[in-house]
Amino acid sequence: MRDYDQVTAFLGEWGPFQRLIFFLLSASIVPNGFNGMSAVFLAGTPEHWCRVPLSANLSSEWLNTSIPREVRGGREVPSSCRRYRLASLTNFSALGLKPGRDVELSQLEQEPCLDGWEYSRELYLSTIVTEWDLVCDNDWKAPLTTSLFFVGVLIGSFVSGQLSDKFGRKNVLFATMGVQTGFSFLQVFSNGWEMFSVLFVLVGMGQISNYVAAFVLGTEILGKSVRIIFCTLGVCIFYAFGYMLLPLFAYFIRDWRTLLLALTLPGLLCIPLWWIIPESPRWLISQGRLEEAEIIIRKAAEKNVITAPDVIFDPTEMENLSSGKQQTHSILDLVRTRNIRSVTIMSVILWMIISVGYFGLSLDTPNLHGDAYLNCFLSAVIEVPAYIIAWLLLQNLPRRYSLSAALFLGGCILLFIQLVPAGLHVLSVILVMLGKFGITAAFSMVYVYTAELYPTVVRNMGVGASSMASRLGSILSPYFVYLGAYDRFLPYILMGSLTVLTGILTLFLPESYGVPLPDTIEQMLRVKGSPKDDPVLA
């Protein structure tokens, strides 16, 4: 009895058909780079200070000194949330008293921004922060907006696989592209922060769902050798390419509604792909639709200029994929024995901290010294060599030491940033990018490593549980950035420390490089220190 790969081996590995599918599915990932990081500019917080209304009738001297000064980021700037009490300033102005000479400013009473805020337009013309005043007492809403996007990603992670199994890879891919594009378009017309945030949850659901559907569709259509490159390089680098385009769009479009519209419209370019990208033949076979699967393979053979056999999928010869053994394992099996429980706990921690570091550094780029748009572009560019290095390490070196080294590199560099002298801004930015390089490489490697650690019977559940932990990390990441408002180095200290600790934790995981994939829990490699008499499942 032959399996699918044997039956379709006549197609070859890298013909015109495979190249077309590789690049089209990879290209469908590009909009995810837009939407995944769009909050960097949509929810950007510019310099702001209290508005002083013209009705206050202040003299020019009192108008210029109406906002207290404070030191922030090593420089003196106007206070963001306080002003001197206007009633007092109006009286002093009417009496002809001078600030600093007749009246000591330090003795003046202060009040909150009762008349709203003025925003610097140096970086943005408008963002959701400036439009709905998400500052001072409402400054928690800006990071919450980004977290809600990742909540949508979390929900999408739950449902995307089940929908794809039930309705087909292609149907879910294009339906969720429509969800992502459609709800992004509706966000342009948001009349309040609440509406924008609810729609952002739905955009997040569509974003992860079409990413997963494209990933699965590619792995099922492409051959074994091309499949590895597609999973490690194709999808990741095209995502990074979309990420690179984000600051280019944002640089020329400084109004958030127009920017969001510009980021949404490219999704429409994916519509013609419906008539080019086929459904997964593997999925069609699992549904008993052999004739439809055979039509797709014959078209692929025609495109590859190969003569297909008279009968491709013989029902008597093909494995009956739809009537395999019933799943006898549950999510509880991930914690049933001491060994697999140790692997699960360490994997969950590993994925969560890597996700915090990756998204925390990505979302923090506007707060770096220098041009925010250039910094965001560099943050995207650095991912390309990180993915390539990760792929080379996976091909040639042990997983455990490669992953640990990437985490140590990223974490130690982030901890070193606080030691850089205040004037060396360029060096600080370089170190942040190197930290992002290490964490991105680790993010790429952890997918493969985790899949190799778990046995076949619970592999999907193991990777799924780890992926869910990653989503929780991404939800928390905006609040790590938020801490930078209180201490600029605090986010780097926290992310760096946690990353170094996970690098140490990784050394306790078993090594999977060059070892056959385990099929049963009994065949799992043991965590360092795990007793040999650890009971196994019957």
Instruction: Write the DSSP assignment of 396-462 as a string of letters.
Output: HS-HHHHHHHHHHHHHHHHHHGGGS-TT-HHHHHHHHHHHHHHHHHHHHHHHHHHHHHS-GGGHHHH
Residue 340 has pLDDT above 80, yes or no: no
Mean pLDDT of 213-234: 77
Distance CA 209, CA 335 (A): 27
Q: What is the per-residue pLDDT across 154-189, written as a single tens digit (0 to 9) for each?
A: 888 777 766 777 788 888 888 888 888 999 999 999
Q: Over 237-278, what HEC string results?
A: HHHHHHHHHHHHHHHHCCEHHHHHHHHHHHHHHHHHHHHCCC
What pLDDT is attached to residue 1? Answer: 41
For residues 502 and 357, the answer to whether their CB atoms sit within 8 Å is: no
Integer CA distances (angstroms), 486 to 43, 353, 361, in order: 19, 22, 17
Q: What is the per-residue pLDDT across 403-436, written as a single tens digit (0 to 9) for each?
A: 899 999 999 998 888 888 877 888 888 898 999 9
What pLDDT is attached to residue 536? Answer: 43
Q: Which pTM was predicted?
A: 0.81
Distance CA 115, CA 58 (A): 15
The backbone torsions φ and ψ at residue 49, rounded to the nearest 5 degrees and listed phi first, read -155, 165
What pLDDT is attached to residue 535? Answer: 47
pLDDT level of residue 533 (50, 70, 90 thresholds): very low
Mean pLDDT of 214-243: 80
Least confident of 79-93, 403-417, 490-504: 79-93
Mean pLDDT of 368-392: 88
How much is the CA Rg of the chain, to the nearest whole Å?
Answer: 27
pLDDT level of residue 537 (50, 70, 90 thresholds): very low
Mean pLDDT of 498-510: 89
Residue 538 has pLDDT above 50, yes or no: no
Q: Is 77 helix (H, G, I), strand (E, B) or coil?
A: strand
Least confident of 127-141, 215-229, 231-245: 215-229
Q: In the predicted model, what is the mean pLDDT of the chain? A: 82
Q: Which fold has domain 1-42+137-324?
A: Growth Hormone; Chain: A; (1.20.1250)
Q: Choose the CATH number for 328-538 among 3.40.640.10, 1.20.1250.20, 3.40.33.10, 3.30.70.20.
A: 1.20.1250.20
Phi-psi region of 12 (alpha: psi -120 to 50; beta: other; left: phi over 0): left
What pLDDT is attached to residue 250? Answer: 92
| Burial profile 503-527: b = 16 or more Cβ within 10 angstroms, e = fewer | bebbeebbbbbeeeebeebeebbeb
Residue 215 has pLDDT above 80, yes or no: no
For residues 29 and 238, the answer to whether their CB atoms sit within 8 Å is: yes
pLDDT level of residue 498 (50, 70, 90 thresholds): very high
**Most confident segment among 216-220, 294-298, 493-497, 522-526:** 493-497
Q: What is the per-residue pLDDT across 249-266, written as a single tens digit (0 to 9) for each?
A: 999 999 999 999 999 988
Q: Do domains 1-42+137-324 and 328-538 have the same CATH topology?
A: yes
Quote the percentage of the chain above a pLDDT of 90.
17
Residue 531 has pLDDT above 80, yes or no: no
Distance CA 349, CA 72 (A): 34
The sign of the torsion formed by the CA atoms of 148, 151, 156, 159 equals negative
Q: Taking Cα atoms as reference points, which of 248, 464, 435, 243 lies closest to residue 358?
A: 435
Where do the domains of the chain lie?
Answer: 1-42+137-324, 48-119, 328-538
Looking at per-residue pLDDT, the higher value among 537 and 462 belongs to 462
Q: Is 119 helix (H, G, I), strand (E, B) or coil?
A: strand
The backbone torsions φ and ψ at residue 81, rounded to the nearest 5 degrees and listed phi first, read -130, 0
Distance CA 195, CA 111 (A): 31
**Most confident segment among 118-127, 333-342, 418-427, 460-469:** 118-127
Q: What is the per-residue pLDDT across 26-35, written as a single tens digit (0 to 9) for each?
A: 888 888 888 8
The angle at the Cα of 262, spanning 260 to 268, to the nearest 5 degrees, equals: 110
Task: For residue 232, count CB atoms less than 10 angstroms from its CB and return exposed for 0-12, middle for 13-18, buried for 19 or more.
Answer: buried
Distance CA 501, CA 414 (A): 13
pLDDT level of residue 227 (50, 70, 90 thresholds): confident
Q: Is 357 helix (H, G, I), strand (E, B) or coil?
A: helix
The backbone torsions φ and ψ at residue 318, rounded to the nearest 5 degrees and listed phi first, read -70, 145
What pLDDT is attached to residue 469? Answer: 83
Which two three-digit tokens encode residue 407?
């985490």
Q: What is the DSSP string of 35-54?
A: HHHTHHHHT----EEE---G
Mean pLDDT of 503-508: 88
Mean pLDDT of 188-215: 87
The sign of the torsion formed by the CA atoms of 95, 97, 99, 104 equals negative
